[in-house]
């Protein structure tokens, strides 16, 4: 992952420059650690999909979200890091209630990547 290319992509999506650069650097570092088998993001079915309807919207808006959620599902995004000692995966953070792939470029994905990176860095420092 090239941070400059990711930055440009996020800017084209309308992200503010500072946020786009921060997210691009996180994505670049995450890709390096992912290639090394140390971090991962995974999706999981949200067992309480009704939470996506917990917002102040018009009946029409709520109906549209419910219809879309029924069609593409409601998901959670889970950040995991591999333990340097036991080699098993550990959940470091998660966020739930995404309809379909709405987590992509949401900012939450970057936050979860950062949490996984921090977990690996903390484990490396403790092991040293």
Q: Is residue 8 part of a domain?
A: no
Instruction: Categorize the per-residue pLDDT at 128 as very low, low, confident or very high, splitting at 50, 70 and 90.
Output: very low
Q: Is residue 50 part of a domain?
A: yes
Q: Is residue 18 part of a domain?
A: no
The encoded tokens of residue 42 equal: 């995974």
pTM equals 0.87
Q: Is residue 116 part of a domain?
A: yes
How much of the chain, in percent, has pLDDT values that exceed 70? Answer: 95
Q: Is residue 23 part of a domain?
A: no
Q: How many domains does the chain have?
A: 1
Q: What is the pLDDT of residues 39-74, one digit of tens each?
A: 999 999 998 888 888 888 899 999 999 999 999 999
Q: What is the 3-state secondary structure (H, E, C) of the chain?
A: CCHHHHHHHHHHCCCCHHHHHHHHHHHHHHHHHHHCCCEEEEEEECCCHHHHHCCCCCHHHHHHHHHHHHHHCEEEEEEEEECCCCCCEEEEEEEEEEECCCCCCCCHHHHHHHHHHHHHHHHHHHHC
């Amino acid at each position: 992952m090239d941070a400059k290319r990711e930055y440009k992509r996020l800017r084209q999506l309308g992200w503010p420059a500072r946020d786009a650069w921060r997210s691009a650097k996180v994505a670049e570092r995450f890709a390096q650690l992912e290639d090394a088998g140390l971090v991962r993001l995974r999706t999981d079915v949200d067992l309480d999909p009704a939470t996506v309807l917990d917002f102040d919207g018009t009946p029409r808006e709520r109906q549209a979200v419910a219809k879309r959620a029924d069609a593409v599902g409601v998901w959670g995004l889970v950040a995991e890091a591999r333990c340097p000692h036991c080699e098993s995966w550990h959940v470091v953070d998660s966020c739930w209630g995404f309809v379909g792939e709405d987590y992509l470029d949401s900012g939450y994905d970057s936050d979860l990547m950062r949490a996984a990176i921090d977990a690996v860095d903390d484990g490396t420092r403790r092991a040293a």
